[in-house]
A and B are shown apart, each in its own frame.
Chain A
Amino acid sequence: MRKEMSNSARLAMFAPLEQVGRAEAVAARLFDAITLGLLDDAEQLPSEAELAAQFRVSTVTVREALAVLRQQGLVETRRGRGGGSFVRTPDWPAQSSWAERLRLVSMAELRDFGDHYLAVAGSAAKLAAERSTPEDLERLRLTAEDLLGASGPDATRAERHFHLEVAAAAQSPRLTNQEVQLQSEHGVLLWAPLGDKETCRGSYAEHQAIVTAIASADGDRARALTEEHLLGALDRLADLHLTLETP
Chain B
Amino acid sequence: MTDTHTLTGEEVVTQVSALVEEIFARLKPVLAAAETLLGETADLSAEALHTIRPQVIEALGGLVVGAGFVSAPNVLADQELGFEWWTSCRTDDGAPEQLFISLDPESPNFLDYTRQSWFTVPRDSGRRHVNGPYVDYLCTDEYTLTFTVPVTRGEEFAGVVGADVYVREFERTVSRRLRALGRTAALLNAQGRVIVSNSVRKATGSLVREIDVPAWWASGAEPYTAPGGMTLRRCGDSPITLLVTT
Contact = CB atoms under 8 A, between A and B. Distances in A.
Contact of B191 (A133, A167, A176): A133
Interface stretch (A71-79, A82-90, A153-161): A153-161
Interface in B192-246: 192-193, 204-207, 214
Contacts of B205: 131, 171-172
Contacts of A177: 141
A101 to B, nearest CB: 15
Contacts of B193: 131, 133, 171
B175 interface: no
Nearest to B131: A135
A238 B206 CA distance: 37
A104 interface: no
B108 interface: yes
A130 interface: yes
A53 interface: no
A202 interface: no
A218 to B, nearest CB: 15
A183 B205 CA distance: 24
Contacts of A142: 115
A171 B134 contact: yes
A167 B137 CA distance: 10
Interface string B112-153: 000111000000000000000111010001110000000000
A34 to B, nearest CB: 19
B34 to A, nearest CB: 25
Contacts of B110: 157
Contacts of B214: 134
Contacts of B37: none
B20 interface: no
Nearest to A176: B135
B174 interface: no
A180 interface: yes
Contact of A133 (B111, B135, B143, B207): B207
A121 B64 CA distance: 31
Contact of A180 (B117, B137, B142, B206): B137
Contact of B108 (A93, A143, A172): A93
Interface string A167-207: 11001110011001000000000000000000000000000
A237 interface: no
A99 to B, nearest CB: 18
B214 to A, nearest CB: 8
A171 B135 contact: yes
A210 interface: no
Interface of B: 108, 110-111, 115-117, 133-135, 137, 141-143, 191-193, 204-207, 214
28 contacts: A93-B108, A130-B206, A130-B207, A131-B205, A131-B207, A133-B192, A133-B193, A133-B207, A134-B191, A135-B117, A139-B115, A139-B116, A139-B117, A142-B115, A143-B115, A153-B108, A157-B108, A157-B110, A164-B111, A167-B135, A167-B137, A171-B133, A171-B134, A171-B206, A172-B135, A173-B141, A177-B141, A180-B137
